[in-house]
Chains A and B, each alone.
Chain A
Amino acid sequence: MTAKVKSPQVKQRDLGKIIRPIFGALVAAYILWRLYNVFIVEAKYGPQVWVSLLISGLIIGAVYSLIAIGYTLVYGILLMINFAHGEVVMLGIYAGYFVFEAAKAIQVPSSLNPELVFADAYPALSIFIAFIIGMGVSATVGFFLEKIAYRPLRKAPRLIPLISAIGASLVLQNVALLLFSPQLRNYNNPTVMARGNGWKMIINETPVNVPYTGVFTLILSVVLMLALLYLVRNTRLGKAMRAVALDKDTAALMGINVNHTISSTFLISGALAGAAGVMWGLHNGQVFNTVGFIPGIKAFTAAVLGGIGNIPGAMLGGMFLGLVESVGPTALGISFQLKDVIAFAILIAILIFKPSGILGEVLAEEKV
């Protein structure tokens, strides 16, 4: 016998529900107006401009994707924003920088060129070493970060580890500042891979540069992402990670070493961050102590955009954000200084209108 109880309708004036559509309509109208202005009224850019913007967007998007995966993996398991992830990337960039400096300093004289240096004699090998060391350094930093700053707080309320992560971010930034000085440094790429070198693509009788570093970045990041997907879907460790993300206690009862799995997650996300860092260095070429902050926040945006906890989502979100950020300022006809504003505005808009992201979030149910 089930009596149907009509639940009383709670009437609550929800201002947010009124304001949200208005806000959304305003933003959409603004964007449409700007697009109309740029594409139809002014129409001063030919296809070559858009192609080159798309290329640079894809490249930067690939880097964002790799960083975003780190956020997503950690958030999926610990339900915390690893605020220091951008700094892990930064240390990876520095590690790569030092490897290339060393490779340029070691001389390998040959009969043809007595002043040949290691980096130019074996460019592939030196880039390989840079990636290995960069990934190693970042993975180690991630590992100890979890061990020192996050592990003691695993049972604490959710905002406490976030504050600890902010502290860790400040510490890493300032350690880099004090160790390496605030000086801006330039990456010393092997001559073959020098920045700006690339294939020339002729569009509309104008050459469009497709940089070698960019193509390399794209290919390597796709390889790394496929490897990660394989690892998460097909290996024992991946299975353990998914189980821990779903429910830590039950996973522990099934004989999974939770601490070990979480540490491995931080190692993996750190390694991806390190790879992203060396790519960033090779392609953009500048290192300083706060270099990781903005990419870090943007990658988090990308992770939220794709649906946090969702690995393909993070990849998609990263690519999308890279493209929007690269094409956006020109397409909307606003100053290039404001490209960060676009990223942050996307973040805010996503969280207001669809907090679960494009592909939906994959999270443990208990804490949300």
Chain B
Amino acid sequence: MKNQQRREVIQKGLIFALLIIFVLAIGFHEIAAALVSRVFGVSVRRGSVAELRFMMYFFGLYAFVTGWANIRKEGSWQQKFLQGLLTSAVAGFVVAIFDLLLVFLVSNSIDIRQYLTAFSIPSMSYFLFEKGQAGPLYHLGYFIVFGGLGALLHTLWITEMVQQAFEKTKGFIKTFATKASDAIPNVVKKYGKYLLLLVAAIIMYFLPRMWGSYINFVVGLVGLYVIAGIGLNIIVGLSGQLMLGYAAFFAIGAYSVALLNAPEPHNILLGFWPSIIIAIVMAILAGILLGLPLMGLRGDYLAIVTLGFGEIIRILLKSDLLENFTGGPRGINDIKGPTLFGRPFSNDIQFMYIIFIAVALSIFIYQRLQDSRTGRAWLSIKEDRIAAQATGVSLRKYKLLALCIGAAFAGLAGGISAARNQFTGPNDHSLLVSMNVLSIVIVGGVNSIPGIILGAFTLKGLPEILREVENYRQLAFGALLIVMMIKRPNGLWPATRPLYEKSHCLENEELNTGKERKND
């Protein structure tokens, strides 16, 4: 037992030390310091680093978390605290040894930035708190003091007394909430949904006028990704086909609108409204063409084929082969925006309304589809395709239908985005876009509209607002995908199972125990 604890202390300490070293290696410590500085309300100029004290705060916070996360699970409170402290100390020790290398590099002014970008001399000495040779000692001290503090606070936090108080507060809030909801008259409850929708619509009308154009841009982007996310969710979440080339449909929508509305290369100028419908139809046609031969494939093969399809579309758009038709690698410029009764939609504020309406429409269609016979057929295919087939669900038909409807959503989002940006080019439709949409669906919550909206905000909106973290966005996407798959495969805001299914599950609870549920 003693031995195992010792190993755990060393292992965890090593992991936490390696993590902070990794943070240095990718240069994230400067960004983290800048973020901390923003929390304290001190803005950081572009191209410079935050004040040193914020780096110290960040390091202290990290040490605190190390202590907090590593206390022992059982035993007396002294034992719990001691394990947290020791782990933190081990981490500090490892970091201090690594610091010696940094000190050596800094004091001999050896710049290895050419090979490892983050290891420039200012960046390294910033990491060492600009204390030179005393840096390692500072780091060790921080880990012991703040790690100890973290361990102590966590130990106190999980003592009976505090937990009971916490439960009491939670219970109090809960009873208050139920009382409050009981107090609402029935009429309001019945029609409250519509009232809420009305209020939301009014807010949606006024909000874009109050925001700046930058926020409008970001929210518009999030809205487009919500539409695309809902579409992909129909394919991935409802019918259970993993699709990695979703950006291809996006591209088809965008190019349809672009080609029909730009002076170059064709000068058709059809107008936005007919062309968005054509965009949707084209996307559906592409879905049929792709889907018909491929519906029999097993899941992971389908994923790779769709990825290949997406890449083919992108490479074709980029190549010289279609340059006269699609503008080649330069893309299409000066796409005309929509007009309604002679009034042009030119700025982001007016475009917000189109996006809001499109999002609302998408959510409405999605909800109706999900609750329909079709939606249940999709779910049944996803859960168990053999059983679904046996009960008379045509796999081919419903899978194809899902693909087409998903493609239609992508065509809509692509068309709107082309008109909004007044530009579209092959690089707007790279594999990364497909991955982003997939991440949004999976991180937010498969089959859950609030989840998708939340996912779009966290993955597309937040990085736009926190511009510092821009370079780290894709890294975070990837890490989130892995962590979500392992820890919460149902997403941040998981879908609630429908009521009819729930009652059924409760009846059969005894039968199902011991057998892993394999939904999603």
The residues of A with any CB-CB pair to B shorter than 8 Å are: 12, 14-16, 19-20, 23, 80-81, 98, 101, 148-149, 152-153, 155-164, 166-175, 177-181, 297, 300-301, 304, 334-335, 337-338, 340-341, 344-345, 347-348, 351-352, 355, 368
Contacts and interface: CB of A to CB of B under 8 A. Distances in A.
Contacts of B301: 304, 351, 355
Interface string B298-330: 111101110111011001101111000000000
A184 B298 CA distance: 38
B479 A167 contact: yes
A255 B321 CA distance: 58
Contact of A368 (B26, B298, B318): B298
Given A163-B438, A351-B305, A101 B115 contact: yes
8 contacts: A16-B293, A153-B485, A169-B478, A170-B478, A173-B478, A341-B312, A341-B319, A345-B312
A8 to B, nearest CB: 14
Residue from B27, B316, B486 having most chain A Cβ neighbours under 10 A: B486
B300 A335 contact: no
A153 B304 CA distance: 20
Given A164-B481, A170-B478, A152 B486 contact: yes
Contacts of A101: 115
The 5 closest A-B pairs by CB, nearest first: A167-B481, A170-B478, A171-B478, A344-B308, A178-B26
A169 B481 CA distance: 10
B270 to A, nearest CB: 29
Given A81-B303, A177-B474, 16 more contacts: A19-B292, A101-B115, A149-B482, A153-B486, A159-B299, A159-B300, A168-B482, A178-B118, A180-B115, A297-B304, A304-B304, A337-B321, A341-B319, A344-B312, A345-B312, A352-B293
B295 interface: yes
Contacts of A170: 435, 474-475, 477-478, 481
Nearest to B311: A344
Contact of A166 (B26, B296, B435, B471): B435
B316 A341 contact: yes
B140 interface: no
B319 A337 contact: yes
A340 B117 contact: no
B284 interface: no
B43 interface: no
A19 B26 CA distance: 51
Contacts of B319: 335, 337-338, 341
A175 B26 contact: yes
Contacts of A301: 308
B486 A352 contact: no
Chain B interface size, under 10 / 10 to 19 / 20 to 34 / 35 or more: 35 or more
Contact of B321 (A12, A15, A334): A334
Given A180-B115, A335-B321, A355-B297, A348 B309 contact: yes
Contacts of A178: 25-28, 117-118, 471-472, 475
Residue of B298, B303, B478 contacting most chain A CB atoms (<10 Å): B478
B318 to A, nearest CB: 8
Contacts of B269: none
Contact of B116 (A152, A179, A345): A179
Contact of A179 (B118, B242, B297, B309): B118
B46 interface: no
B480 interface: yes
A12 B315 CA distance: 37
A297 B26 CA distance: 27
Contact of A23 (B293, B442, B518): B293
Given A170-B474, A337-B315, A344-B308, A16 B300 contact: no
A15 B318 CA distance: 32
A352 B307 CA distance: 15
A159 B242 contact: yes
Contacts of B477: 167, 170
Interface in B311-357: 311-312, 315-316, 318-321
A341 B311 CA distance: 8
A166 B474 contact: no
A163 B485 contact: yes
B394 A12 contact: yes
Contacts of A158: 299-300
B474 A174 contact: yes
B516 to A, nearest CB: 7
B116 A180 contact: yes
Contacts of B116: 179-180
Contacts of A338: 315-316, 319, 321
A16 B295 CA distance: 8
A345 B308 CA distance: 8
Contact of B308 (A179, A181, A297): A297
B489 interface: yes
B396 interface: yes
A153 B472 CA distance: 26
